[in-house]
Amino acid sequence: MSDRRRWIGERVPRIEDARLLTGRAPFVDDWEPPGTLHVAFVRSNLPHAKILDIDTAAAAAHPGVAAIYTAEDLGALCCPGPVLVPPPPIEGAIFHARTPLPLAREIVRHQGEPLAMIVADSRYIAEDAAALVSVDLDALDAVVDLSTALNEGAPLVHSDLGSNLAAHVRQTKGDYEAAKSAADRVVARRFRYDRGVAAAIENRGVLAEWDARADRLRVWDTTQAPIPIRAAIASTLGLSEAQVRVIAPFIGGGFGPKVMFYAEEILIPWVAMQLGRPVKWIEDRYENFFATTQEREQLHESELALTEDGRILGVRDHFLHDSGAYDPYGLTVPINSQCTLLGPYRIPNYESEFRVVFTNKPMVTPVRGAGRQHGVFVMERLLDIAAKELGLDRLDIRAKNLLDPDEFPHNHEIIYQDSAPLTYDSGNYAPALAEAARLIGYHDFENERRAAAADGKRIGLGIVNYVEGTGIGPYEGARITVEPSGKVRAATGVGTQGQGHFTAFAQVVAEAVGVNPADVRIVTGDTSEFHWGTGTFASRGAVVAGNAFGAAAQAVREKILAHASEALEVSEEDLELVDGTARVRGAPDVSIALGELARRANPLRGAVKPGTEPGLEATSYFGPERGTTANGVHALIVAVDPETAMVDILRYVVVHDCGTVINPMIVEGQIHGGVALGIGNAFYEELTFDEFGGTTNASFMDYLLPTATDVPAIETAHMVTPSPLNPMGTKGVGEAGAIPVAAAFVQAVEDALREVAPTLELVDIPLSPGRLFEALQDAGEEA
Amino acid sequence: MKPARFDYVAPTNLDDALSALAAGGGEARALAGGQSLVPMLNFRLGGPATLVDLNAVDELAFVEPTEEGGLRLGAMARQQTLEHDPLVRIRAPLLAEAAPWIAHAQIRSRGTIGGSLAHADPAAELPALLMVLGAQARVARAARGSESGARIERASSLCDLYLGPFFTSLEADEILTEVEIPGLRVGEGTAFAELARRRGDYAIVGVAVRVRLGADGLCEDAAISLINAGPTPCLAEDAAAALLGEVPTPAAIANAAEIASLQCSPAADMHGSVAYRRHLVRVLTNRVLLRARGRARERVV
Amino acid sequence: MSDVSIRTRINGEEWTGAVEPRLLLSDFLRGNLGLTGTHVGCEHGVCGACTVRFDGDPVRACLMFAVQIDGHEIETVEGLSPAAGTDLRIADLHPIQRAFHETHGLQCGFCTPGILMTVASFLERNPKPSDREIREAISGHLCRCTGYHNIVAAVARAAELLTEVEA
Ligand SMILES: Cc1cc2nc3c(=O)[nH]c(=O)nc-3n(C[C@H](O)[C@H](O)[C@H](O)COP(=O)(O)OP(=O)(O)OC[C@H]3O[C@@H](n4cnc5c(N)ncnc54)[C@H](O)[C@@H]3O)c2cc1C
Ligand code: FES
Ligand code: FES
C-alpha cells in the first residue's frame, strides 16, 4: 500500500472549525421556524410529595398561552418511560425497574420533576404563566442520605417496592476469603465518592415541527443518540419511522446525559402534532440541575489482601450506589465501577457486591467516566494505604502488580456493562507507568520537595493507573459515496458533540480513497442521512463508527479500483489512488479522476451488466465482539498551603494508550477536557442537598466548574498498543481523562502534607479547601 | 430564566432618576450595572414594577481627585476603572490591587461601584475595601411631597450603611451617588488578600488593612476590614486598636490577627465551616498586615 | 409596558426598532436579529457563552436588556470576520479565529464565540500577554470540553498573529 498517503495518525486541523468559529454552526436553539411556540415546565420544588391539586385556570387565561397540560391531559402518553439499558445477564442479580412518567401524577419523587407543561408565544410568556399555576403539594419525608436509605423504617421512594433497593448484584472471581486468610496484610477502608452534574455548557433542547401536508415530523434534538430517539418517538406517537426525522445538529457538549431518552423528547413532538405548530423547549440552566440526569454518590467498604512484599492476593468491595428517584439506565454506572476497580492489576480473587438505592434525588445515569472513576479511586487509594502500611514505594507496589503483555487477552471472569465477560484485549502497562514516572520526575522528586520546603512550600506528587473499558457494541454503520464532483460524502448514525468526528472520520475515508480530508463531507446525527446505529457513549465513536468508516472506505476503494481498471485498461494491482485520481503506478499521466469514475458508475442511459450496483458507494457496519481496553497513567504535582488548605496544581502529566490514534491533536483535546472535568470532580464540583432533599446550589454561581485558572497545562504522551478486536486497532479515549484524576489528586495532597499531617488519609471525594481543613484538624488531633 | 415584565425608564440626569424612584413608591428599583440585579430578575427572585436605569445618568459616572489627595468615585463608575485608571492606582492603590478579584473583566466592565455598595453582599470586596479606607458615601433622594427638582442629600460612613446581609440603610427612593476616599498619608500602607474557590468568585474570606507608621516606627493608625466574616462587611476594631502605639512586630501582628479571628462572626456555608472561616481570618489578617507594614515603611519619611 | 424604540449599531450596521423592556440582549440578538452565534448557557452571568462587545468592552448579553443598547455599539462573533459566502475559508477569518483553528482551541464550539469576543478586547489592551494573564483573562468563561489548555495556546497564538498583521 505504498501509494497511500497516511492520514490516520496525522494532526489534521478540524474541518468543522470554520463554521463554529464564525458562529454559523447551528445548534438546536438556533432554529426557529416561523410561528414557533415555546414551552416552559412547572416543576416540583419539593423532592418528595403527594400532588393534591394543580390549578392551571389562571395560567390558561393568560394572554399568549396556547395550551397547558398536566398528567391528566396526556392520555395514553402518560405511561412510564422505557428501561433504556436492560441489565446484563448476571446470575442472581436483582433489578427493579422504575422509570418516570412524562409529567408526574399523584407523587413527585425528586425536586424538579415536571408537573405541568405550558405552551405559549414566547418563553417569557410561558414563564409568566408558569408563575400563575398554583400547585398544592403535600410534603412527604424524603430519602436523602444514601447510607441510611435501606434501613428499616426509611421513607420509601416507590412505596410498592417495600424498600428502596433498586438492584443487587454480586460478582466474584476466585475465592476472596481464602486469599484473605493467606494474606500477610489486609487493608480495609470506607470510601465515599460524591458527584455532580455533567454541565455541558449547552443545556438540552427539543424543537419539533409537524408537517401535516407531508405527514412528517421533524425533530431537532440535543441528543447523543438520534436514531434510538427516532425509534422511540415513532413508536410512542404511532408513526412509521419513515415519518420521523431526528436531527442532532451541532451539540454543545454531551458528556453522557444527552444519551438519555427524556420525557421532553416525546412531549414536544406530541404537542407539535396536537397544535399543528412548531414547538420548542430549551432547558434553562436552573432546570438542568434537576431535569437532566446526573451522576452521584457511592459508598464503598473495601478490603485489599496482600503479601508482605505487596503482591495483591485479593480485593473485596461492597458498595451502595445512589440511583436517584428512577433507574432507566439500568446498571451501567455501578457495573462500570465494579469492573473498572480491577485496573491494570493482576487480581486473582475478587468479590464485589453492590446495592443500588432509590433516593429522592434527580436521576443518575452515566456522566463522562460513568462510575469508572469510583472504582479507580477505591483501588488506587487501597494501594496507597497498603504501600504506607507495608513501607513500600507507591510506584513499586503498582509496578509489581501490573499485568504483563503476555497475559492478554486477560479474562477477569465477571460480566461487563456490554453483557460480555470483562476481558482485556491488549495492553502494555509497565512502560506507560515508567514513562509517566519519568515525565513527572518521580525519581528526583524528593530533592524537588526538599528545595520547595526550604522556600516554605509544600509540594506533593501523585501517580495512578487506570484502565477503561471502551468502544463497546453493539454496532455502528457508515455509508460513503464518491460524488461526480470528486468530493466524497459520508454519513453515520452517531451524533457528535465536539469530538472532532467530522475530521477524524474524514481522515479514515481520505486515507482509503486517496483524497484530502477537506474533500470528505461527513454527516452525523441526521436520521434522514443514515438510520442505523445507537449513539455516542462509552468512548465508542472512534472505535465502532471509526471502524465502520474504515470498512466502508475499503469497499469504496475496491469499487474505484475496479472501475478505474476497466476505464484505464490496466490491472488493479497497477493502480494507485492519489489526489482524487486513480492513476497508473509509475505513469502518473495515465489517470482518471474519481469524479469521472463516479459519473461512469452511475450511467443515466444505456444498459449495465446484471447485478451492477450503481455509484461509487458502500455501506458497512462494524460490531465488535466486545469492548476494547484503553489504559493510562496520570501523574501530577500539587502545592498545598497547609494554613489555608488551598491546593494548586503545578504540573499534570498523562500517558495514555488508546491503541491506534486517528488524530493525536483531537485525542489530546479529549484528554485535556477529561482532566479538567476530573479536577472539577476532585476539588470543585459537588451538588449539595439540604436535609429535606432540596438542592442548595443549583446555579453556576454556586456549583463550581473549574476555570482556566484552576486547570493546569496538561502534558500528554501517547503509547500505542493496538486492539486486536478491530481492523484499525483503535480503542476509545473520550472518558479517559476524567477517570483517575481524583485518585491522583488526593495522593498528591497527602504527599504534600506528609510532614505536616502524617496520619492524614483522604477517603472522600470531592475534596474542597473546607473539607481539607477539617481533615487536617482531625489528623492534627489524632497525631 | 426570563425576567418578568417591568416598566422601564432611562433618565439622563440625577434629578429625574430620583423622581422616577420616588414615583415608584417602593416598587421601583435602580438598575446600575445589572450584574447582580439582572441574575435575580432572570431567576425571578423579586420583581420590581419599574426599573430606573442609571446608565444614562452621566453625572454619576466619574472618578475625580479631591484637593486633599483623595478620590471621589461616582456611583456609576465601572468597577473596571479601578483596575485601569492611573489616578486610582496612585491615590488608592488598595482598590487597584483588589479590583481584579471582583468578578471577571466581563462583569467589571458593567458592574458599578455604587451597585456593589448598594447590593451589600457580605462576600463582596468593595464595601470592605472602601470601609478600610475610611470612605464616606453620599446619598440623595427627591424631597418628598415637594416640587420636582428639590433634592435631599445625606452623607453616611460605610459602616453605617450596612445593616445585614443584602440589607442597607438606603431607602427605596434613595440613590447612592458617590463615595469619597481620603488620600493615602505619609507612612500609610494598605494591603488586601482573599481566598476564593475560583478566580472571580466571591470571597470565602477576605481581609483588607491599612496601617500608618510614624517616623519612630510606632503604629499611629490602623484599620482592618473583613469580607464574608460576618453578616455585613465590618471593621475588626479591637484587632486594629491592639496595634495602635505598638511597633508592629510579627508578634503584635499575630496578636491582632488572633483578636480579629476571635471577634468575627462568620456563617457556615458549602464553602466552609465557621471554624474554617475564623481560621482564615487569622491567617489572612496576619499575612496582609505584614504586607501593609512593609508598604507603610516604604512611605515613612 | 409598551415597547421602547432604540437605535443602535450592531456589527457596524445601524438598527432601529422597538423592543420590550424585559427582552434580554442575548435573546434580542439571537431571536430578533438571527445572530445566533451568541450562545446562551446560564443566563446568570457565569458561563460567558453570551459574551459580546458593548462599545468595545466584553459584556454578558444575558445580563443586559436590549433597550440598554440604545445609542451604543454591539459587536458579536458574526462581526469578527467579513461575512463570507458559502465557501468559508480559514484563511479569510480573523487572526483570533485562525489561531483557535490552528491550536484546536475549540471542541463543541459552544463556548467559543463568547471567548473570541473577550479575547478580542483583551488582546487590544494587552497585546503580549503572559500565560498567567491569558488564563486570568479567560477565567470568566466556562468551557467543559477543552480543559482550557488549547484555548490558552490559541490566545497566545492569536497574539502572535495579530502582531504579525500589524508588523
Ligand atoms: C459571575 C459574577 C461574578 C461576580 N463576582 C463578584 C465578586 O467576586 N465580588 C463582588 O463583589 N461582586 C461580584 N459580582 C457582582 C458584581 O460585582 C456586581 O456588579 C455588583 O454586585 C453590583 O453592581 P451593579 O452595578 O451590577 O449593580 P446592579 O446589579 O445594577 O444593582 C444591584 C443592587 O443595587 C441597587 N443599586 C445599584 N446602584 C445603586 C445606587 N447607585 N444607589 C442605590 N441602589 C443602587 C440596585 O437597585 C440593586 O438592588 C459578580 C457578578 C457576577 C455576575
Ligand atoms: S449565558 Fe450569559 S453568562 Fe452564561
Ligand atoms: S468547546 Fe465545548 S464548551 Fe468549550
Cα(C116)–Cα(C58) distance, integer angstroms:
10
Q: pLDDT at position B229, please?
A: 96
Are residues C53 and C103 both part of a single domain?
no
Could you give phi then psi for residue B34, rounded to 5 degrees? 75, 5
Q: What would the grid cell of residue B175 be?
A: 440613590
Mean pLDDT for chain B overall: 95
Whether the CB-CB separation of A583 and A593 falls below 8 Å is answered with no
Contacts of A241 (CB under 8 A, 6+ apart): A230, A231, A234, A531
Which range marks the domain in which residue C95 is found?
90-166
Q: Cβ atoms within 10 A of the Cβ of A255, count?
A: 28
Is the bond leading into A766 cis (omega within 30 degrees of zero)?
A: yes
Ligand nearest to the CA of C113: 3
Would you say residue C84 lies in a domain?
Answer: no
Grid cell 493507573 is found at: A465
CATH number for C22:
3.10.20.30
Is the bond leading into A26 cis (omega within 30 degrees of zero)?
A: no
CATH number of B7-53: 3.30.43.10
Please give the share of chain B, as a percent, with pLDDT higher than 70: 98
Residues pairing with A622 in the sheet: A476
What residues in A contact B5, CB-CB < 8 Å? 128
Contacts of A471 (CB under 8 A, 6+ apart): A538, A539, A540, A542, A543, A544, A624, A627, A628, A723, A725, A726, A730, A731, A732
Q: pLDDT at position A413, please?
A: 87
Q: What would the grid cell of residue B183 be?
A: 488620600
What residues in A contact C47, CB-CB < 8 Å? 201, 285, 700
Partner-chain contact B276 A770, CB within 8 Å: yes
Ligand nearest to the CA of A200: 3
What residues in B contact A699, CB-CB < 8 Å? 43
Q: What is the B103 CA–ligand 1 centroid distance (Å)? A: 10
Predicted complex ipTM exceeds 0.95 = yes
CATH number of B188-298: 3.30.390.50
Cα(B223)–Cα(B132) distance, integer angstroms:
6
> What number does the ligand 1 atom closest to the CA of B104 have?
3
Cα(A414)–Cα(A92) distance, integer angstroms:
13
* CA distance to partner chain A, nearest, from residue B69 (Å): 36
Does domain B58-181 fall into CATH 1.10.287.130? no
CATH number of A298-472+625-782: 3.30.365.10
Residue where a domain terminates, one of C60, C79, C98: C79
C-interface mutation test, from A14, A21, A255, A258, most C Cβ less than 10 A away: A21
Are residues C45 and C99 both part of a single domain?
no
Between positions 101 and 160 of C, the ones with CB within 8 A of A are 101-102, 104, 106-113, 116, 131, 134-136, 138-152
Indicate whether C85 pLDDT > 70: no
Q: pLDDT at position C84, please?
A: 58
- Which of the listed CATH numbers 3.90.1170.50, 3.90.740.10, 3.30.70.1450, 3.90.550.10 matches domain A33-141+204-282? 3.90.1170.50
- Alpha helix (H) residue ranges in A455-593: 501-513, 546-568
Model confidence over B14-62: pLDDT tens digits?
Answer: 999 999 999 998 999 999 999 999 999 999 998 899 999 999 999 999 9
Q: What would the grid cell of residue C149 be?
A: 489548555
Cα(A567)–Cα(A564) distance, integer angstroms:
5
Ranges under pLDDT 50 in chain A: 1-2
Could you give phi then psi for residue C114, rounded to 5 degrees? -60, -45
- Domain regions of chain B by residue span: 7-53, 58-181, 188-298
Are residues C116 and C155 both part of a single domain?
yes
Model confidence over A114-135: pLDDT tens digits?
Answer: 999 999 999 999 999 999 999 9
Whether the CB-CB separation of A319 and A298 falls below 8 Å is answered with yes
- Which of the listed CATH numbers 3.30.365.10, 3.40.50.1100, 3.40.50.880, 3.40.1180.10 matches domain A473-622? 3.30.365.10
pTM for the model = 0.96
Q: Which of B27, B35, B112, B225 to mutate to test the pocket of ligand 1 (most atoms within 8 A of CB)?
A: B35
* CA distance to partner chain C, nearest, from residue A109 (Å): 25
Are residues C54 and C98 both part of a single domain?
no
Q: Where in chain A is the domain with CATH 3.90.1170.50?
A: 33-141+204-282
Q: pLDDT at position A541, please?
A: 66
Q: pLDDT at position A514, please?
A: 92
B-interface mutation test, from C3, C4, C8, C22, most B Cβ less than 10 A away: C22
Q: pLDDT at position A1, please?
A: 41
C-interface mutation test, from B76, B106, B112, most C Cβ less than 10 A away: B106
Cα(C110)–Cα(B201) distance, integer angstroms:
23
Could you give phi then psi for residue A56, rounded to 5 degrees? -105, 5
Q: pLDDT at position B148, please?
A: 60
Would you say residue C85 lies in a domain?
Answer: no
* CA distance to partner chain B, nearest, from residue A115 (Å): 18
Q: What would the grid cell of residue A280 be?
A: 420548542
State the total domains in chain C.
2
Q: Which of C43, C52, C112 to mutate to test the pocket of ligand 2 (most atoms within 8 A of CB)?
A: C43
Reported in sequence order, the residue ranges of A13-91 that DSSP labels E, i.e. its strands, are: 37-43, 49-55, 65-70
Give buried/exposed letters for C33-45 (b at 16+ CB in 10 A, else e). Answer: bebbbbbbbbbbb
Q: pLDDT at position A603, please?
A: 80
Partner-chain contact A672 C146, CB within 8 Å: yes
Could you give phi then psi for residue A19, rounded to 5 degrees? -70, -40
Mean pLDDT to the nearest integer, C114-141:
97
Mean pLDDT to the nearest integer, C47-67:
98
Reported in sequence order, the residue ranges of A341-438 that DSSP labels E, i.e. its strands, are: 349-358, 410-415, 421-424
Q: What would the grid cell of residue A505 be?
A: 472520520
Q: pLDDT at position A2, please?
A: 42
Model confidence over C29-45: pLDDT tens digits?
Answer: 999 999 999 999 999 99
Residue where a domain terminates, one of C45, C79, C113: C79
Q: Where in chain A is the domain with CATH 3.30.365.10?
A: 298-472+625-782, 473-622
What residues in B contact C50, CB-CB < 8 Å? none
Cα angle: A467, vertex A625, A346; to 5 degrees: 30
Model confidence over B224-250: pLDDT tens digits?
Answer: 999 999 999 999 999 999 999 999 999
Cα(A515)–Cα(A534) distance, integer angstroms:
29
Would you say residue C39 lies in a domain?
Answer: yes
Partner-chain contact A708 C152, CB within 8 Å: yes
Determine contact: A676 vs chain B, CB below 8 A: no
Q: pLDDT at position B146, please?
A: 62
Q: What would the grid cell of residue A499 be?
A: 469530538
